[in-house]
Amino acid sequence: MSNILNVSPSPHRQSAETTRKLMYGVVIALLPALATSIWFFGMGAIIVTLVSVFACVATEYIIQKFILKTKPSISDGSAVVTGLLLAFNVPSNLPVYIIIIGAIVSIGVAKMTFGGLGNNPFNPALVGRVFMLISFPVQMTSWPLPQGFNTGYADAVTGATPLAIMSEGIKNGETVSALMEKVPTHLQLFYGYMGGSMGEIAAAALILGGIYLVWRKIITWHIPVTILLTVAAFTGILWGVDPTKYADPLFHLLTGGIMLGAIFMATDYVTSPMTAKGMVIYGIGIGVITVLIRVWGAYPEGVSFAILIMNAFVPLLNMYIKPKRFGKEVKRG
Positions touching other proteins (CB under 8 A) are 1, 3, 5-15, 17-19, 21-22, 73, 76, 78, 116-119, 269-270, 272-275, 322-330, 332
- Nearest CA to 165 out of 194, 191, 205 is that of 194
Burial class (CB in 10 A: 0-12, 13-18, 19+), 152: middle
Nearer to other proteins, 222 or 252 (CB): 222
Element (H, E) at 144: strand 143-144
Nearer to other proteins, 106 or 151 (CB): 106
Nearer to other proteins, 26 or 180 (CB): 26
Q: How far is the CB of 282 from other proteins (least distance, A)?
A: 12
Q: How far is the CB of 71 from other proteins (least distance, A)?
A: 10
Nearer to other proteins, 5 or 241 (CB): 5
Q: How far is the CB of 11 from other proteins (least distance, A)?
A: 3
Report CA 331 to chain centroid distance, whole Å: 45
Nearer to other proteins, 84 or 183 (CB): 84
Q: How far is the CB of 303 from other proteins (least distance, A)?
A: 21
192 vs 199: CA distance, rounded Å:
9
Q: How far is the CB of 274 from other proteins (least distance, A)?
A: 4
Nearer to other proteins, 248 or 268 (CB): 268
26 vs 29: CA distance, rounded Å:
5
Nearer to other proteins, 82 or 235 (CB): 82
Peptide bond into 72 cis (omega under 30): no
The full DSSP string for 15-67 is -S--HHHHHHHHHHHHHHHHHHHHHHHTHHHHHHHHHHHHHHHHHHHHIIIII
Q: How far is the CB of 310 from other proteins (least distance, A)?
A: 15
- Nearest CA to 294 out of 262, 247, 261 is that of 247
CA atoms within 13 A on the CB side of 215: 9
Q: How far is the CB of 107 from other proteins (least distance, A)?
A: 15
Residues whose CB falls within 8 Å of the CB of residue 324, separated by 6 or more in sequence, listed in order: none
